[in-house]
Structure 1
Amino acid sequence: MLSADDPLPFRPERVLIAGVTGSGKTTLARRVAAQWNLVHHEIDALHHGPNWTPRPSFLDDVRAFAATDRWVTEWQYTSKGTDDILTPRAQLAVWLDYPWRVVRGRLLRRTLGRSVLRTEMYNGNVEKPLWRLLATRDPYENILAWQTKMRSFWAERMPEKIERHPHLTIVRLRHPRETERWLRRL
């Protein structure tokens, strides 16, 4: 596993961005896409249809872009089948393994801002109103509860991912400052 200071052994063309909800996966994916001239496929936009319903074509859409040569996407929905499609094709995974206070703060700011402003994200979906977020602790209804539930997902599963996918170069970034340093070095 590489750190922010280790040089990449090659110029990757297929990249996964891992991290807990709120870590900045989509933002980093966009930046990597721009810097390396890759196509960013926002996996949340592929997964969620209107009214937050899963799109029936989700896995077909993932298969279609994964078959192309140059892409970057967020490494999520692994339990829904994306892991078997994306990971064998990916060359690089960037793991945003940030401190809890960083990811929690980011998610709070993002969620509150989107909720108050009723910002449309994709396919007509908007963040739930604040009162609905505060009314439940169900992780499938509350993004903050989901983040708490998934807090240690990557730390627990990364050893298995490394073992199953030895071809995959992994860069672990432990703080946004490391991510900025890593991006500058590219």
Structure 2
Amino acid sequence: MKIVGPGSRLPQQVQRIAVVGPTGSGKTTLARSLATSFALPCVELDSLFHGPNWVPRETFLQEVTDFIAKEQWVTEWQYKVARPLLLARATTLVWLDLPTGRVQTQLWRRTFRRWATHEELWHGNREPGLRVLLSRSDNSILWWGWKHRNALRGLPLVVQEMARGAGIPQSHLDGLVIVHLRTNKQVHDWLRLQDLPMPHSA
């Protein structure tokens, strides 16, 4: 496992990238930017997981498996049941390890913009009412984001333990590159180094 910073360049032949970070860190936005610039297949995992009325789709894992069987792709590294599958295929993890305050600000702004505009998310779903959003319930993305804000702080250890539990060979981890980005400025600097345009926040 090789950990690099914002001064690193992606390999000339980009392969399979998973963007890592807590809810609200900008995973999907960055994944879309990378997909556009490198002409990589991209899927938003939330769109595979959430069916109408927020009911989890039974085809989720099969669709993830089919997508990551491709030679090249980019997506987010999320969902506990999907992360081992993604890890076993990814060649690069881009780790958005941003300050908690910044992530929470982005999450609240995004959530209330979606709520205020009644933006359709996936399969007809929209953000729930304020009573749910402001509750201490896992049905609130705001509460979920706060509760799990530090889950990926020690990503290299998380990766090692997950690989061990999933039977992912050490040889795969030895070739894995983790791009560690700690601020939005570092994200932008890293994108400039790849000669990529800055992503616009979703």
TM-score when normalising by structure 2: 0.85
Question: What's the counterpart of residue 158 of structure 1?
Answer: 156
Q: How does 1:28-43 map to 2 (within 5 A)?
A: 28-43=30-45
Q: 1:167 aligned to 162, 170, 175, which one?
A: 175
Secondary structure, aligned partner of 1:41:
coil
The 8 Å contact of residues 116 and 129 in structure 1, kept in 2 or not, is answered as: no
CA distance in 1, matches of 2:181, 2:152: 12
The number of aligned residues is 182
**Matches of 1:29 and 1:160 in 2, distance apart?**
21
The aligned counterpart of 1:108 is 108
Cα deviations across residues 31-51 of structure 1 (Å, max 9, x unaligned)? 000111101110010011111
Q: CA deviation at 1:86?
A: 1.3
Query: Deviations for 1:30-86, whole angstroms, at most 9, x for unmatched residues?
Result: 000011110111001001111111100000000001101111010001x22x12321
Residue of structure 1 in register with 2:199 after alignment: none
| Matching residue's letter, 2:130 | L
Q: 124, 139, 145: which is aligned to 2:143?
A: 145
| SS in structure 1 at match of 2:179 | strand
Show structure 1 runs of 4+ deviating over 6 A: none
8 A contact 2:152–2:158 mirrored in 1: no
SS of the aligned residue for 1:166 comes to: helix
Please list, as runs of the form range in 1=range in 2, the aligned pairs for 1:16-27 lying within 5 A after superposition.
16-27=18-29
Provide the residue aligned with 2:15 in structure 1.
Answer: 13
| Deviation digits for residues 156-184 of structure 1 (CA, Å, limit 9, x no counterpart) | 44323157333210001001111111011
The letter of the residue matching 1:132 is V
| 1:92 corresponds to 2:92 | yes
TM-score, normalisation: structure 1: 0.92
Q: How far has the Cα of 1:117 moved from its partner?
A: 1.1
Which of 1 and 2 has higher RCO (CA within 8 Å, sep 6+)?
2
Q: Does residue 117 of structure 2 align to residue 117 of structure 1?
A: yes
- Aligned ranges for residues 20-99 of structure 1 at < 5 Å? 20-77=22-79, 79-80=80-81, 82-99=82-99
Structure 2 gap segments, 5+ residues each: 164-172, 195-202
Instruction: Provide the rounded CA distance (Å) in 2 between the counterparts of 1:137 and 1:131.
Output: 10
Residue 10 of structure 1 deviates from its aligned partner by: 4.8
Matches of 2:156 and 2:118 in 1, distance apart?
35
SS in 2 for 1:120: coil
Instruction: Say which SS state the counterpart of residue 192 (structure 2) adopts.
Output: helix
